[in-house]
């Protein structure tokens, strides 16, 4: 079978927020066609690879991606025609070299990633293998714990609720992925009832979670515990809580400004606050507890809490092996968030996961707030055996498609499938 690329075609489509993004189709000589689309973040780190936007105020408020589309069709495609789609690392390397910048600013990470993902999917289809099996081999059988963002704050709630951006439930006590998803959905609907009973609004944020106006960053934890208990499940034993404060968004001049609580605190005082919350609530994972360049603060955070829960760096590491390697050397965390579009190619993403695993760290796969119905990260999570991922609330089609794909994978694996459970978290022994 001839797996050589004969056509790459990019186009501008809309993401879940109604903003343009890039979609790329790949055609192989054997007749196989595949398609992939690129997500976009609202809460983005300054060290992420560049998402190329047109900047034309007459189109989509400047957010058009015609330039990135043109880079695929006019620059990248001519260089990759004739290449074997199975040579993923070589193809990704060619695009990185063609761009020639350290952050993919010339061609755009959104252009490069669209090609990288569609080529991988085309190669899997040509091999007549599910994507997770093609990427991960025969040992790709572990289903992840879904961390569902059921209560939003920060930029995801337009700063009308909590300062902390995401409050997630992690149903790690379930016996299967399907049961975990069932529990998460039940908790989500129970939370809606809890909020309504307390007079809160139940509008949702970008990732499907409710966005109530709360009086503190602790109140969402209280509400979620009540929702878990309302379903008959046990907080801590059956279901844990994960938090993503996205603290870079409220970090300024060396301090953390908690608008909801009308106070400003230092990094050490933030760590004190997190320690109090962790002792009171079944928090199993804390992502971006401190700002993206507050390396000294992160050292304090990890020294105090790294032996208790999973501490995930997102904006701090941006799926970049150089930054993750620094984090390992300086002992500032024990896990990294994994986002394909932060770095821009599948090959570099795989390298980031492998580095985490080699160090004994967790690798926490994530969607973005601006998503599409592409379920690539669901297959990738199983393929790379990361054990946990977040894809938003169990609501909104672009979120649940990832969860639905994981149920399909679990069904396809049959008796070979296993559920990660508490072992997905590097410090899960706490519960």
Contacts of 293-297 with C-beta under 8 Å, sequence gap 24+, read: 294/251, 294/267, 295/330, 295/332, 296/267, 297/267, 297/268, 297/270, 297/271
Taking every pair of Cα atoms in the chain, the longest distance, rounded to a whole number of angstroms, is 64
Assess contact for 345 and 338: CB atoms under 8 A: no
Cα separation, 41 vs 367, in Å, equals: 9
CA quadruple 117, 123, 124, 126: dihedral, nearest 10: 140
Sign of the torsion angle spanned by Cα atoms 20, 41, 118, 415: negative
The DSSP element (H or E) to which 10 belongs, if any, is: strand 5-14
* 175 in a known ligand binding site: no
165 is in an annotated binding site: yes
What's the CA gap between 136 and 126, in Å, rounded?
A: 16
Candidates 207, 218, 371, 410; catalytic one: 207
Q: What is the distance between the alpha carbons of residues 64 and 35, in angstroms, rounded to a whole number?
A: 20
How does DSSP assign 189-229, residue by residue?
A: HHHHHHHHHTT----B-TTS-B----SSSSHHHHHHHHHHH
Q: Could you tell me the two tokens for 319?
A: 């799926």
Residue tagged active-site, from 63, 339, 402, 422: 339
Angstrom distances, CA of residue 224 to CA of 191, 206, 232, 311, 340: 7, 19, 13, 20, 29
The verdict on whether residue 166 carries a ligand-binding annotation is: yes
- In 282-349 the beta strands, taken as DSSP E runs, fall at 283-287, 310-313, 335-338
- List Cβ neighbours of 134 (8 Å cut-off, separation of 6 or more): 120, 123, 124, 127, 383
Give yes or no: 25 in active site: no
314 belongs to an annotated ligand binding site: yes
Task: Say whether 299 counts as a known binding-site residue.
Answer: no
296 is known to lie in a ligand binding site: no
366 annotated as belonging to a binding site for a ligand: yes
Confirm whether 207 is a catalytic residue: yes
Residue 238 annotated as binding? no
Binding-site residues for substrate, in ranges, read: 156, 166, 287, 314, 366-369, 390
Binding-site residues, in ranges, read: 156, 165-166, 244, 287, 314, 339, 366-369, 390
Binding-site residues for Mg(2+), in ranges, read: 244, 287, 314
Which residues are catalytic, by number? 207, 339
Binding-site residues for (2R)-2-phosphoglycerate, in ranges, read: 165, 339, 368-369, 390
């Amino acid at each position: 079978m001839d797996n050589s690329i004969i056509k790459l075609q990019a186009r501008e489509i809309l993401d879940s927020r109604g903003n343009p993004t890039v979609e790329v189709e790949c055609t192989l000589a054997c007749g196989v066609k595949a398609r992939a689309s690129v997500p976009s973040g609202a809460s983005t780190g300054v060290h992420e690879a560049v998402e190329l936007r047109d900047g034309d105020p007459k189109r989509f408020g400047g957010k058009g991606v015609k330039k990135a589309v043109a880079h695929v069709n006019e620059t990248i495609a001519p260089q990759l025609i004739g290449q074997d789609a199975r040579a993923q690392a070589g193809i990704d390397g060619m695009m990185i070299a063609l761009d020639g910048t350290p952050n993919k600013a010339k061609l755009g990470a959104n252009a490069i990633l669209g090609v990288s993902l569609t080529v991988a999917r085309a190669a899997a289809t040509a091999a007549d293998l599910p994507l997770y099996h093609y990427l991960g081999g025969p040992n790709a059988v572990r289903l992840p714990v879904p961390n569902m963002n059921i209560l939003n704050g920060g930029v995801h709630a337009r700063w009308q609720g909590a300062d902390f951006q995401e409050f997630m439930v992690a149903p790690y006590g379930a016996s299967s992925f399907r049961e975990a998803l069932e529990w998460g959905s039940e908790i989500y609907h129970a939370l809606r009832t809890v909020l309504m009973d307390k007079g809160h609004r139940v509008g949702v944020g970008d990732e499907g979670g409710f966005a109530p106006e709360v009086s503190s960053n602790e109140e969402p934890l209280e509400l979620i515990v009540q929702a878990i208990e309302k379903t008959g499940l046990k907080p801590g034993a059956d279901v844990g809580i994960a938090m993503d404060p996205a603290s870079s968004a409220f970090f300024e001049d060396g301090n953390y400004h908690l608008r909801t609580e009308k106070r400003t605190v230092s990094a050490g005082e933030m760590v004190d606050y997190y320690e109090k919350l962790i002792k009171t609530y079944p928090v199993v994972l804390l992502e971006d507890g401190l700002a993206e360049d507050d390396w000294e603060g992160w050292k304090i955070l990890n020294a105090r809490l790294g032996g208790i829960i999973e501490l995930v760096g997102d904006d701090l590491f941006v799926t970049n092996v150089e930054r993750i390697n620094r984090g390992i050397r300086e002992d500032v965390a024990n896990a990294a968030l994994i986002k394909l579009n932060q770095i821009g190619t599948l090959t570099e993403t795989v390298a980031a996961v492998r580095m985490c695993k080699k160090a004994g760290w967790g690798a926490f796969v994530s969607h973005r707030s601006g998503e599409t119905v592409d379920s690539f990260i669901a297959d990738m999570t199983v393929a790379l055996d990361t054990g946990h991922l977040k894809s938003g609330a169990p609501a909104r089609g672009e979120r649940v498609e990832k969860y639905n794909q994981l149920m399909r994978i679990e069904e396809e694996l049959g008796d070979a499938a296993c559920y990660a459970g508490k072992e997905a978290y590097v410090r899960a022994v706490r519960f």
